[in-house]
Structure 1
Amino acid sequence: MNLLWRTLLRNRGRVASGSLLIGLHQGCQAVVPILIGVIVDRAVATGSLGRLALWTGVLGVLFLVLTVAYRTGTRQLMRAIADEAHRLRLEVAAKVLDPRSEVRTGDVLTISTTDADTTSYLLDYLPRLFGALVATAISAIGLCLISVPLGLVVLIGTPVVLIGLQRAAPRITRRIAARQEVAGRAASLATDLVTGLRPLRGIGAQDAAARRYRDASRESLAATLRAAKTLGWFQAASDTVSTLVACGIAILAGWFALSGRISAGELVTVIGLAAFLGEPFATLSAAPGWFASSRASAERIEAVLALRPAAPPGGDNPVPPVAGECVGVVVEPDAGALVALLDDGSPDVLVAPHLPELFSGTIRENLLDPDSSEQLGEVLRASAADDVVAAHPDGLDHAIADRGAALSGGQRQRLALARALLARPRLLVLHEPTTAVDAVTEHAIARGIRDLRHRPGSTLGTLLITTSPALLAVTDRVIVVRDGTVVATGTHAALAATDDTYRAAVLR
């Protein structure tokens, strides 16, 4: 609920003005049948053309006011909704872009789109609810001026009906929240599976992934049907009650007209108000479902915003700069904080992220720096990217799509590694650079990195933040960081022989 309050507070100006304008629009609509009744009694019944022209002009002004009020009010509210949804997406993006945060890609997609939009719709629901209350109040007052019993039907019946309908609100909230949660999980899973489709095919796991998505989709369908059933019963009950109230008012008015207690114009007004009240009654009865949807989406966004990324290791940097060394770093439970700490923008340090990014263009354009072309062949061999180049007839001039969409995960990793090696930074930080390649290629890459950057006399340093035994085996030493503290240092072989925790983390 804190997010919903914050959403209202930072849009309070537009919501307040929009609510007043929507209230004015609804109030004018409620006055229309009242004014028509006045025209019938004071102009039509008397046969006065002057009064007919006067009151018709008043009716025209009323329609002008309600039209302008509606257009201006909805413009204010739509602007507020769009701006708030944008702010929420930026907040979610800022949270998940923190390299120390771990949020699944699919979750980010559903939360930053559907949930952000649904939460921002609160800025429309409140003005509509306010407008419905204004319309109901004016209608009740108009009916009271004609006949107190008719007005009391609305003044007493409306709160009773709303209180009764509100008893279903908690159940609606639970069903809608459950529906959005499982639907979000299904969408998240679909996004993650599509993103990793090539690696899944590579290891023959596509059938298992399809079964997993099928189960999640069926769960989502079942939750959607349960929520739809609850909302359907609720809507049917609210429509039935609203119709009965409107029919009761019309029947009572007809009786009063036949007994001479109200005039023909007043009968027209009552029938018009009875018909008009269906709209605000529908809004009032649908409100619990609307607010339940916004609340459920807000809770999903709050869950992301409340994530506390792993704190950077305290004290001095636990991994000192290396010169001429190849150092392995095993971080438990999460390496994100250490990667973020090292990625400080220093010109002497290049941090190659775990998830590589390629841009549209040729392989050559994704790799080459004008000053590094002499090393290209050597770097391609060291990173095992020469196989990627050789797999295409155009070689280095082969065109790749944005983000390397047509390449497998292993091909993207190897090209990104080649690009990092071509840069020749004094300190190169590689975070799990071989997770999408096979074991044989991983061993070749490990030896290639070692041979390329750590020849005799080299002053270049490399940090391999990984749990891969193939990569750790080529390092000069390994540093084990657990919960932000260095707990062990030694060679890979020595740690594997003496440290049970290290062995469990690495030798899997």
Structure 2
Amino acid sequence: MRFLRQQRRRVVVASVLAGCHQGGEALVPVVVGLTIDAAVATGDLPALVRWLVVLAAVFALLSFSFRWGHRAAERASALTEHRVRELVVARVLAPEGGVGGQPGELVHVATGDARRVGLLALAVPTAVSGLVGLVVAAVALFTMSAPLGALVLVSAALVVAATRYLARPLERRGEVEQERAARAAGVAADLVAGLRALKGIHAETAAARRYRAVSRESLTAAVAAARTRGVLDGAVTAMTGVFLAAVALVGGRLALAGEISVGDLVAAVGLAQFAVWPLTSLSWVAGEIALSRASKRRVLALTSAAPAVTGGTGALPADLRGEVSLAGLRVAAGEHVGVVAQDGAGLVDRLALEVPDPTLTLDGHPLHAVPLDQARAAVVVSPHQVDLFAGTPRTTVGDHPALTAVGALPDRDVAELSGGQRQRVALARALATDAPVLVLHDPTTAVDPFTEAGIAAALAALRRGRTTIVVTTSPTLLAAMDRVVFGEVTGSHADLARDNADYRAVVFA
């Protein structure tokens, strides 16, 4: 992935230092064996001092290499994860839209999957260090005895082949695990966001049952992936145990036959014990690569999703009047229009450019022909379901008359406010944009009638001279509009309420 390639300098540095570390680790039993043969067995004190200095130098090298190599690898891993997360978040927040899925699922991709992709930057130096350690150990054993060196190479080849074979089902199950975990996170996020509504309709038991079902699926997938990972790690551990016993057996026979010295035997056993870690690390690397492939596919599927809408390269004039036209809906500049629509949400999505509609124009300019951010700055849409960031109403809206227009609000974090109070904060935030065209969708459904009447009057005053479209069935808001559009019929709220039975059935239901 390109983000891993962006960290290639750190990955190369980490790989070189990790190789030096494992090479130094492999040399420790070799130096110990040489010390035994050259100094301990002969009683040569100066030789003992020299070899101890060499051993200290080896330890200094491997200690330095491990510290700085691991630091470079962890930094590369963290930066890769961060870049992937930025890519995912940028695609989710892109004005073109087109990214489906629940918020919890998207968060899981930006966290869990990004982390697994980032671990590739740590897996590469680990793989290099393991291979370097095995090569150094094999060369050292070959200098002592060809059978011992061949035994290391054969064991390494068997372990690599086994990990490649066993990693395939881990990749499949790891992808299922991430998908199920993301689904459970999505359901959990939805239930937490709608907790008040659930309590209001006494649906806590049904909600808990729904989450329990998806959580159980996630647990089953996680256990399946963990079981496969356990088989992989267990197989490698068993193979390394057999390898260690084989080296001790062959080395002991060679030492008894006089073909290798006592120091060589000590070095051979030490190298065999050391080789357990490189072999095990290769197993870990194989597992991480398999899991990262699954996560990479999920990241690519999200970031390469086709956009729902695309903007153009045109531009809107600086002096916008605010005349809106959309497939039969005509709103004059500065007019306040209420819309009673069977599919209010669909109409709002078209006005918000969430779905393409070439008939949408502003002052005669097709909005699909200008950049999306410019179009959405000119036509600000406040949907019925609005997300608010943490903070008080004042920090959310700022010092704007809109905050007073929606009625008094407590100076508490918006998370602590009631549903009606949060709806009023969202309305104030929309009004504070002072947009040329403002579209509101059912902005007062959770507000009491007295406060709603005050909001209707304030809305007419605050937005005087600027185009406002309110998609609602609230009689109070509709009465404050210049006119109301009801299907093919248009007129004042009072006239429609008096003359149109269908209108009365919808608005006063």
| Bigger Cα displacement from structure 2, 330-339 vs 260-269 | 330-339
Q: 1:224 aligns with which of 214, 219, 222?
A: 222
Seen in structure 2, the aligned counterparts of structure 1 residues 212 and 36 have a Cα distance that, compared at 3 Å, is same
| Bigger Cα displacement from structure 2, 197-206 vs 249-258 | 197-206
Q: For residue 422 of structure 2, what is the amino acid of its counterpart?
A: R
Q: 1:416 is matched with which residue?
A: 426
Conserved in 1, the CA contact under 8 Å of 2:167 and 2:232? no
Could you report, residue by residue, the CA deviation over 1:164-222 in whole angstroms, capped at 9, with x for unpaired residues?
33212211111111112111211222122112211222233322211111101111111
Q: 1:322 is matched with which residue?
A: 333
Q: 1:36 is matched with which residue?
A: 32
Could you report, residue by residue, the CA deviation over 1:38-73 in whole angstroms, capped at 9, with x for unpaired residues?
111111122211111111111111111111111111
Q: For residue 388 of structure 2, what is the amino acid of its counterpart?
A: E
Q: 1:83 is matched with which residue?
A: 79
CA distance in 2, matches of 1:216, 1:159: 41
CA distance in 2, matches of 1:333, 1:349: 11
Q: 1:459 aligns with which of 462, 465, 477?
A: 465
Q: 1:399 aligns with which of 398, 411, 414?
A: 411
Could you report, residue by residue, the CA deviation over 1:453-475 in whole angstroms, capped at 9, with x for unpaired residues?
458x95331134x5x55589777
CA distance in 1, matches of 2:468, 2:348: 22
CA distance in 2, matches of 1:167, 1:422: 61
Seen in structure 2, the aligned counterparts of structure 1 residues 431 and 364 have a Cα distance that, compared at 3 Å, is same
Q: For residue 414 of structure 1, what is the amino acid of its counterpart?
A: R
- List alignment gaps of at least 5 residues for structure 2: 317-323, 356-366, 494-506
Conserved in 1, the CA contact under 8 Å of 2:3 and 2:84? no
Q: 2:353 is matched with which residue?
A: 337
Please state how far the C-alpha of 1:157 moved relative to its aligned partner: 2.7
Output aligned runs, 1:418-437, within 5 Å.
418-421=428-431, 426-431=436-441, 433=443, 437=445
Output aligned runs, 1:106-505, within 5 Å.
106-312=104-310, 319=326, 322-326=333-337, 328=339, 331=346, 334-335=349-350, 337-338=353-354, 344=374, 351-352=381-382, 354-357=385-388, 359-361=390-392, 363=393, 369=399, 376=404, 379-380=405-406, 386=407, 389=408, 396=409, 398-401=410-413, 404-421=414-431, 426-431=436-441, 433=443, 437=445, 445=452, 452-454=458-460, 458-464=464-470, 469-470=473-474, 476=483, 491=490
Seen in structure 2, the aligned counterparts of structure 1 residues 94 and 167 have a Cα distance that, compared at 3 Å, is same
Size of the alignment, in residue pairs?
455
- List alignment gaps of at least 5 residues for structure 1: 381-385, 390-395, 480-487, 494-505
Q: 1:47 is matched with which residue?
A: 43
**Identical-pair percentage:** 36
Q: CA RMSD in A?
A: 3.6
Seen in structure 2, the aligned counterparts of structure 1 residues 146 and 11 have a Cα distance that, compared at 3 Å, is same
CA distance in 2, matches of 1:293, 1:13: 24
Q: For residue 427 of structure 1, what is the amino acid of its counterpart?
A: V
Seen in structure 2, the aligned counterparts of structure 1 residues 333 and 47 have a Cα distance that, compared at 3 Å, is farther
Please state how far the C-alpha of 1:293 moved relative to its aligned partner: 2.0
CA distance in 1, matches of 2:311, 2:4: 38
Q: For residue 323 of structure 1, what is the amino acid of its counterpart?
A: G
CA distance in 1, matches of 2:106, 2:309: 22
Seen in structure 2, the aligned counterparts of structure 1 residues 114 and 348 have a Cα distance that, compared at 3 Å, is closer
| Bigger Cα displacement from structure 2, 136-145 vs 414-423 | 414-423
CA distance in 1, matches of 2:449, 2:83: 42
* SS across alignment from 1:337: coil
Conserved in 1, the CA contact under 8 Å of 2:400 and 2:432? no
Please state how far the C-alpha of 1:369 moved relative to its aligned partner: 3.6
* Higher-RCO chain (CA-CA 8 Å, sequence separation at least 6): 1
| Bigger Cα displacement from structure 2, 191-200 vs 126-135 | 191-200
What is the TM-score when the length of structure 2 is the normalising length?
0.79
CA distance in 2, matches of 1:201, 1:399: 25
Conserved in 1, the CA contact under 8 Å of 2:81 and 2:118? yes
CA distance in 1, matches of 2:377, 2:182: 41
Please state how far the C-alpha of 1:270 moved relative to its aligned partner: 0.5
Conserved in 2, the CA contact under 8 Å of 1:199 and 1:408? no
* SS across alignment from 1:43: helix
Q: 1:14 is matched with which residue?
A: 10
| Bigger Cα displacement from structure 2, 204-213 vs 217-226 | 204-213
Q: For residue 78 of structure 2, what is the amino acid of its counterpart?
A: A
What is the TM-score when the length of structure 1 is the normalising length?
0.79
CA distance in 2, matches of 1:255, 1:133: 28
CA distance in 1, matches of 2:135, 2:107: 43
Conserved in 2, the CA contact under 8 Å of 1:358 and 1:416? no
Seen in structure 2, the aligned counterparts of structure 1 residues 442 and 285 have a Cα distance that, compared at 3 Å, is farther
Q: For residue 58 of structure 1, what is the amino acid of its counterpart?
A: V
Seen in structure 2, the aligned counterparts of structure 1 residues 55 and 318 have a Cα distance that, compared at 3 Å, is farther
